[in-house]
Amino acid sequence: MDSGTLLSGRYRLDRPIDSGAMGAVWAALDERLKREVAVKILLPGLDGAGERFQREAETLASLKGPNYVEVYDFGEELDGDREVKFLVMELVEGTSLARLLAREDHLDPERTMRIVAEAADALGAAHRRQIVHRDVKPANLLIDADDRVRLVDFGISLLVDQSRLTDSKEVLGTIPYVSPERLRNQDVTGKSDLYSLGAVAYECLTGTPPFPGRDAMAVIHSHLYEEPPPLPDSIPPQVASVVSRLLRKAPEERWESGEALAEACRLATTGEIVVPPPPPQPPVEDRPNRRKRLALLTTAVAVVIAVIAVVLWGNWTGDSPFGPSGDAEESTVEAAGDAGGDPATDGATDPAASDSASESPAAEETEEETGGGTEEGGSGETGDDEATRDPNISSDGSEPVPSVTGMDTFSAKDALEAEGFTNVVAEVGYYWYTPEPEHCTVIQQFPSAGEETNYTDQITLSYHERTAEGTSCEW
């Protein structure tokens, strides 16, 4: 389309304003009513997008209020041998939040909370009509000449409980602002929009989204498994708490509605609201240490039981390696400390007593019964496959994870297990590459290659699936 083109005999295109995922937006003149309008034209080559484009027109037309753009018309026009669909809307004088941030880097907390509150009002009204926007980002928030927020571009919106216009496996949206549940292809609700708005708020306050980066896979991993960096100390705690709650991974922990969020934003600027922090959770990187502590505690308990058994046997036969029975309690404490207990106790351990305990026939018998001294590394008649893998590999040890991306899932599992990692799972991911990867190709692994993890901790292989293949990539 060129400047001067007349659509439906009344809308004359003037100049391009912007472009989005589905269409280009033009300033135009409605020659019938003599007013300026905005015309959004569906981009050529978007096969199957016509119905989605019409859905946007219907969605916008159903939403009324100061934070939306009014819809005037929807039509089709022949341009040579192709049919062009267009949407006629109110022309908003102003700029997008994306351009505002590019110009000003970041905004002060009070202005940020006002923008987020108005956007939340618009989202809340849409959610009450069971409409989820699904692409909340700075480019889709317009700041008009009256400094009022307008929510635009409902091109990929979803009417909850109605048929989807996209494949259920298709992840749509803009990666820096997409919620974890959308990335996992879980049910989408209005709280997904609130997470995206939280990412927008974070960017307004800091100048960058919570998880910036050029590598889309790294950003996706951060949305799913990492917490955003803390906001600067200069941000009032009430404001920071509002944004922190928006960015919680679990949808049920976010604000319950757009209206509730809008009220919280307005109260935060007056210092009247403090959001309680989420319940504490152990950080991911601490899990190997917790597993090691558990293993040491288990070992200590086993040693204590062995020592008590030796003492009791000695008292019964008169041949206790610890001498008189009065020394048994002291020796038990020392053995537990030597197995990884209190460091102060370790320093008080009697070497003679420890050596005596390890060399006693009863201790050797206990070791044999638990499989610690057998060549097979097993546990008697149970035939433990995990222990037969390699006698030099400890189940609670940790090593860097090798890279298995690019392999098929089965080869990747074999490679990891050959290195001693025993808890490998696979799950389908949704990736767009040209050319398309082979069926079952591992695209991403968690933990990433080079990260240290325990041999028994879970390693997840995220793979590409060609639906037409019909064969499973999992075991």
Question: What is the per-residue pLDDT across 387-436, written as a single tens digit (0 to 9) for each?
Answer: 344 444 444 567 899 999 889 999 999 999 999 999 999 988 755 555 67
Residue 467: the pLDDT is: 67
pLDDT at residue 86 tops 60: yes
Instruction: Enter the pTM of the model.
Output: 0.58
Q: What is the CATH number of the domain that holds 46?
A: 3.30.200.20
The answer to whether residue 262 sits within a structural domain is yes
Exactly one of 18, 135, 193, 408 is catalytic; name it: 135
pLDDT at residue 452 tops 80: yes
The answer to whether residue 73 sits within a structural domain is yes
Range of the domain at 43: 6-90
In a shared domain, residues 200 and 239: yes
In a shared domain, residues 122 and 226: yes
pLDDT at residue 348 tops 80: no
In a shared domain, residues 221 and 302: no
In a shared domain, residues 315 and 301: yes
The answer to whether residue 74 sits within a structural domain is yes
The answer to whether residue 174 sits within a structural domain is yes
Per the CB < 8 A criterion, the answer to whether 401 and 447 are in contact is: yes
Count of structural domains within the chain: 4
Mean pLDDT over all residues of the chain? 76
- pLDDT range class, residue 296, cuts 50, 70, 90: low
- Annotation says 79 is catalytic: no
Report how far residue 249's alpha carbon sits from residue 192's, in angstroms, rounded to the nearest whole number. 10
The answer to whether residue 154 sits within a structural domain is yes
Residue 180: the pLDDT is: 94
Q: What is the CATH number of the domain that holds 430?
A: 3.30.10.20
